[in-house]
Amino acid sequence: MANSTAKIKAVASEDMVIRIGKAKYTVQQSLEHGAAVYESMYDLNELMLHKHNELGMILLQHRALYKSDKLFGKYIANTPLGCMSRYDRTDAMFIASNWDKVRKMNKDGSLDSLGVSAIRKRLKPKAKPDAPTSAGNVSKGKAKPKAEATDGPSDTKTAAIDLIQNTMTADDLATFVKAQLKEHGITQTAFNKAMKA
């Protein structure tokens, strides 16, 4: 891979040789090379979408175990995924919970090489009607109180439950529960007893 920090200028000479750094191309070769580069960019973008989906499914399943996003964030901070930013977690979970729509958009070519925020904007339904063109009442009035985090269910948790119900098999669930029992130091006998209660 070429050094991406080096400043490389493309130069066309009189002999119709195009030079990019130390590489030399004829006009046709440069266009074919450009097409190959573009194709690899498209393939990498599609691979990234699949990776977002896979990671999002993992996160959604763990998120379903916690009462709030705040508690989930505290849990994740002490795991191997603690290095992942909250925004990256949210993006991955968004892609996973909207995977059918994302896959459809990718198939019909409307995604091109968009990032997750652009995908989010395209999938977001138009919630508000068009704003009026006049300024209307411009008085400042009282400030709205800031929203605080709640301990209730969130949209993420609902999406996680939907994902689990629609894609998880009984074997997957059993494996997941066994891993959770081991992680939290709960014996199979204690779990079975609690399940009967």
Q: pLDDT band at residue 195, thresholds of 50, 70 and 90?
A: confident
Name the 3-class secondary structure at 6. coil
Angle at 83 between CA 74 and CA 6, to 5 degrees: 155
Q: How far is residue 14's CA from residue 78's CA, in Å, rounded to a whole number?
A: 61
pLDDT in tens, 73-121: 999 999 999 999 888 899 899 889 989 888 888 787 776 666 676 777 7
Q: Where are the domains of the chain?
A: 13-124+154-196
What does pTM read for this prediction?
Answer: 0.51
